[in-house]
Amino acid sequence: MLGWWCLAFFAAALLLVASFYLDQTVRVWMMSHQNAGLRNFMDAVSRVGDWPGHVALGLVLLALAWWRKSQRWTRIFAAMILACALAGIATRVVKISAGRARPNVQSERAWQGPRLNPRYNAFPSGHTAASTAFFATLAFASWRIGAGFLAIPLLVAFSRMYVAAHYLSDVVAAALIGVVAAYVVARRMELWAASPDR
C-alpha cells in the first residue's frame, strides 16, 4: 500500500513540474486560438463552474435524495458539497500565500508573495479545485455514474486557461488538491462501503 502512495505522490509531483515547464507554451497556444464565440462560451463555463454553482447543484441533489429517502445518495451528495468546500478553503489559503499574478496581469514579477488582491491569486485555480473535488467524490462513490462527469472539471480547467485567468500549472495543482479533498472525504464518510457498484 505504501508503494502505491509513493508512486501516486511521485506521479503527481512529476505532473506538476511538467505543467510549470509548459505554462508559457500553453498560454501562447490559448492566446493564438481565441475567437469570440468560444470566448463567450468559456466565460459562461467559468461563471457557472465556480464553487457557488457546484454547491447549489449539490444542495438541490441533496434535497432530492433526502425527499426520496435515499440514505446512500444523501451521504454522497453531502460528501460532494463537503469536498468542494474543503478544496475551496485549501486553494484559498495557498493562493493568498503564493501571490501569483494571473496571466492577464502585466507584472515584472509573477510571484508576489502573500496578496489578497484577486489579480494576484492565480495559483492554484479555485474553480478547478472545487469542480474536481465535487465530481471526483461522486466518482469515488460510484465510478460507473461519476466517471463521465469528470469531463466537467476538465472543461472548467480549460475555460480558466482560455480566459487568461490561470496558467496550466494553476489548474493542475488545483486538480490535485481537488482529488485529495475528494479522497479524504470519501474515505472519512466510507462512501466505498456505501456503493454497491464497487
132 close to 182: Cβ distance less than 8 angstroms: yes
Q: Of 57, 121, 56, 131, which is closest to residue 87 (Cα–Cα)?
A: 131
Cell of 74: 444523501
Distance (Å, whole) CA 22 – CA 36:
25
**Sole residue written with cell 492554484:** 124
Q: What is the mean pLDDT of the chain?
A: 90
**pLDDT value at residue 1:** 63
How many whole angstroms separate alpha carbon 117 and alpha carbon 91?
15
The model carries a pTM of: 0.90
Task: Give me the residue spans of the domains in the chain.
Answer: 62-198
Task: Tell me how far apart the alpha carbons of residues 140 and 185 are, in angstroms, rounded to a whole number.
Answer: 10
Q: Is the pLDDT of residue 197 over 60?
A: no
Mean pLDDT throughout 102-113? Answer: 74
Q: Mind listing the pLDDT tens digit for each residue in 133-166?
A: 999 999 999 999 999 999 999 999 999 999 999 9
How far apart CA 125 and CA 54 sit, in angstroms, is 15
Q: Dig out the grid coordinates for 154 from the structure.
A: 476538465
Top-tier CATH class for 62-198: mainly alpha
pLDDT digits (tens, 9 = 90+) for 24-75: 999 999 999 999 999 999 999 999 999 999 999 999 999 999 999 999 999 9
